């Protein structure tokens, strides 16, 4: 069987573009490796809330319910994504894992599935996102260390670590929030290993969300934005240098451009550091049979390590054509224009305005491009009906 349009990934990006395609009169099939929509959100830690506001986090055509509050909980977001798929009658096929994507000689895209079958489609949208495959560094000596090491993708709550000394590696949003969760949840001690000092912003000031600063100021050039952001941080965030956390040396927007970095939103970590519940330490260098060795030559003896050390896209293993990707494994073309005839990538752009807001924008672009140029069977030829 040959599909007209296939979308890989039933997260926010995949569902959003599928709904927009329907508004253009184009049906699609959404393939999802997990057991339900929003699988990547289902697997995140229990206390997770969006760091973007509810009104600016909804997908096209359906607002997130007001009853979910300003900062939407993980489980409420999953419920919203389920409702979204049902509202638009999307054809989501869960438990369908795509292992390889190749271009067939006839211009059709061939997807090899985990069950050994091949799914063929005229138009393909890859929307698996950049938080696809967890990465835990291969620190020297880690195999000799007897303690527990887990990636942050496997962390749910502090209960298994009650009474333990825990080292969290990574000072991004996940690492900082997990450190706070552990400190509040009964860990005996919590250390936070920091390689590059983070830019810290309050989630909101007098009701004004940090997300709006990113939207309104994000187009400023680095030479203007970076000093402005540094000044705001000095005013809004207490000086944490006396507690072992230096100020960042590199500008925020420069880091966004060079390292796809977004600032750390404070939902408790600043108070935890100042009150001694979380102790910043140097980056992890290696492990021994007794200790974790840090970059400054000191060592720790934690019972467990939580590695909030990021993800890869997983696209190198998925795509047969390596020329579609840059040196970091990201699509060279994404977010609207086709990377190849009939092939689109979306959900790979990191902005200061928020991931969900960005996939809303990209979903409209990709759907419009498919409706204009691909014209699969069943596509409407009339005017654009998207909202």
Condensed to tens digits (0 to 9), the pLDDT of residues 163-201 reads 999 999 999 999 999 999 999 999 999 999 999 999 999
Residue 386, in any domain of the structure: no
Tell me what pLDDT residue 379 has.
40
Q: Give me the helix-helix angle, 222-236 and 252-259, nearest 10°.
A: 120
Residues in the chain, total: 387
Burial status of residue 383 (CB atoms within 10 A of its CB: 0-12, 13-18, 19 or more): exposed
Query: Do residues 141 and 127 share a domain?
Result: no
User: Is there a contact between 101 and 123 (Cβ–Cβ < 8 Å)?
Assistant: no
User: Is there a contact between 68 and 5 (Cβ–Cβ < 8 Å)?
Assistant: no
Specify the DSSP class assigned to residue 387. Answer: -
Residue 379, in any domain of the structure: no
Tell me what pLDDT residue 386 has.
40
Query: Do residues 289 and 320 share a domain?
Result: no
Query: Do residues 253 and 315 share a domain?
Result: no
Our count of domains for the chain comes to: 2
Buried b (16+ CB within 10 A) or exposed e, 252-270: bbebbeeeebbbbbbbbbb
Tell me what pLDDT residue 222 has.
96
pLDDT tens-digit readout, 88-131: 999 999 999 999 999 987 889 999 999 999 999 999 999 998 88
Residue 73, in any domain of the structure: yes
Tell me what pLDDT residue 117 has.
97
User: Is there a contact between 12 and 362 (Cβ–Cβ < 8 Å)?
Assistant: no
Residue 383 has pLDDT above 70, yes or no: no
Per DSSP, what are the bridge partners of residue 113?
98
Residue 219, in any domain of the structure: yes
Specify the DSSP class assigned to residue 271. Answer: H
Tell me what pLDDT residue 43 has.
87
Q: How far apart are CA 250 and CA 84, in angstroms?
A: 40
Residue 355 has pLDDT above 60, yes or no: yes
User: Is there a contact between 171 and 192 (Cβ–Cβ < 8 Å)?
Assistant: yes
Tell me what pLDDT residue 129 has.
84
- Structure-token pair, residue 28: 């699609």
Burial status of residue 355 (CB atoms within 10 A of its CB: 0-12, 13-18, 19 or more): buried
* Proportion of the chain above pLDDT 90, given as a percent: 91
Range of the domain at 116: 2-132+311-374
Tell me what pLDDT residue 375 has.
54
- Beta strand pairing status for 118-126 and 2-8? parallel
Torsion angle defined by CA atoms of residues 287, 290, 291 and 296, in that order, rounded to the nearest 10 degrees? -80
Residue 382, in any domain of the structure: no
Torsion angle defined by CA atoms of residues 21, 27, 33 and 35, in that order, rounded to the nearest 10 degrees? 100
Query: Do residues 91 and 8 share a domain?
Result: yes
Contacts of 180 (CB under 8 A, 6+ apart): 267, 268, 269, 272, 277, 278
Residue 245, in any domain of the structure: yes
Contacts of 74 (CB under 8 A, 6+ apart): 41, 42, 44, 45, 46, 48, 49
The H or E element spanning position 280 is strand 279-282
Q: Which of 307, 336, 352 is the last residue of a domain?
A: 307
Tell me what pLDDT residue 279 has.
98
Q: Which of 273, 307, 341 is the last residue of a domain?
A: 307
Residue 385 has pLDDT above 90, yes or no: no
219-227 long-range contacts, Cβ below 8 Å, gap at least 24?
220/253, 222/251, 222/253, 222/254, 222/257, 225/251, 225/252, 225/253, 226/251, 226/252, 226/253, 226/254, 227/251
pLDDT grade for 149, boundaries at 50, 70 and 90: very high
Query: Do residues 293 and 319 share a domain?
Result: no
Of 43, 51, 44, give the one whose Cα is nearest residue 268: 51
Query: Do residues 48 and 128 share a domain?
Result: yes
Q: How far apart are CA 164 and CA 157, in angstroms?
A: 13
Tell me what pLDDT residue 361 has.
96
User: Is there a contact between 42 and 94 (Cβ–Cβ < 8 Å)?
Assistant: no
Distances (CA, A) of 221 to 229, 253, 316: 12, 8, 32
Contacts of 259 (CB under 8 A, 6+ apart): none
Per DSSP, what are the bridge partners of residue 299?
293
Query: Do residues 207 and 281 share a domain?
Result: yes
pLDDT tens-digit readout, 325-342: 999 999 999 999 999 999
pLDDT grade for 40, boundaries at 50, 70 and 90: confident
Residue 383, in any domain of the structure: no
pLDDT grade for 382, boundaries at 50, 70 and 90: very low
CATH number of the domain to which 184 belongs:
3.50.50.60
Query: Do residues 242 and 209 share a domain?
Result: yes
Residue 293 has pLDDT above 60, yes or no: yes
Distance of CA 93 to the CA centre of its chain: 22
Residue 381 has pLDDT above 80, yes or no: no
Q: Which of 307, 339, 356 is the last residue of a domain?
A: 307
Query: Do residues 279 and 158 share a domain?
Result: yes
Query: Do residues 256 and 149 share a domain?
Result: yes
Query: Do residues 122 and 11 share a domain?
Result: yes
Of 81, 91, 82, 83, give the one whose Cα is nearest residue 26: 91
pLDDT grade for 384, boundaries at 50, 70 and 90: very low
Query: Do residues 122 and 205 share a domain?
Result: no
pLDDT tens-digit readout, 215-273: 999 999 999 999 999 999 999 999 999 999 999 999 999 999 999 999 999 999 999 99
Q: How much is the pTM?
A: 0.92
Contacts of 79 (CB under 8 A, 6+ apart): none
Residue 24, in any domain of the structure: yes
Specify the DSSP class assigned to residue 143. Answer: G
């Amino acid at each position: 069987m040959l599909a007209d349009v296939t979308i890989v990934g039933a997260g926010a990006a995949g569902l959003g573009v599928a709904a927009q395609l329907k508004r253009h009169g184009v049906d699609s099939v959404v393939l999802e490796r997990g057991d339900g929509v929003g699988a990547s959100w289902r697997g995140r830690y229990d206390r997770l809330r969006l760091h973007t506001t509810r009104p600016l986090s909804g997908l096209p055509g359906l607002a997130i319910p007001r009853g979910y509050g300003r900062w939407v909980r993980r489980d409420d977001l999953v419920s919203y994504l389920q409702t979204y798929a049902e509202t638009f009658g999307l054809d989501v096929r869960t438990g369908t894992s795509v292992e390889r994507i190749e271009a067939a000689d006839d211009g059709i895209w061939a997807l090899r599935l985990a069950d050994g079958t091949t799914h063929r489609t005229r138009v393909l949208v890859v929307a698996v996102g950049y938080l696809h495959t967890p990465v835990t560094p291969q620190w020297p000596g880690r195999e000799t260390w007897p303690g527990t090491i887990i990636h942050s993708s496997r962390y749910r709550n502090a209960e298994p670590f009650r009474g333990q000394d825990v080292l969290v590696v990574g000072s991004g949003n996940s690492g900082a929030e997990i450190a706070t969760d552990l400190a509040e949840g009964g860990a005996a001690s919590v250390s936070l290993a920091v390689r590059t000092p983070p830019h810290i912003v309050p989630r909101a000031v007098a009701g004004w969300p940090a997300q709006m600063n990113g939207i309104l100021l994000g187009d400023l050039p680095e030479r203007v934005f970076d000093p402005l952001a540094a000044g705001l941080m000095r005013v809004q965030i207490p000086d944490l240098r006396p507690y072992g956390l230096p100020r960042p040396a590199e500008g925020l927007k420069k880091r966004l451009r060079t390292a796809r970095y977004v600032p750390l939103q404070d939902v408790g970590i600043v108070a935890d550091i100042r009150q001694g519940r979380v102790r910043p330490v140097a980056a992890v260098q290696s492990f021994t049979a007794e200790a974790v060795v840090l970059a400054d030559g000191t060592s720790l003896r934690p019972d467990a390590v939580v590695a909030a050390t990021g993800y890869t896209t997983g696209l190198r293993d998925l795509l047969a054509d390596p020329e579609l990707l840059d040196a970091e494994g990201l699509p060279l073309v994404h977010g609207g224009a086709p990377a190849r005839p009939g092939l689109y990538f979306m959900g790979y752009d990191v902005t200061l305005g928020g991931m969900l807001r960005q996939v809303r924008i990209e979903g409209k672009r990709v759907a419009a491009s498919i409706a204009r140029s691909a014209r699969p069977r069943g596509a409407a030829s009339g005017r654009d009906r998207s909202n």
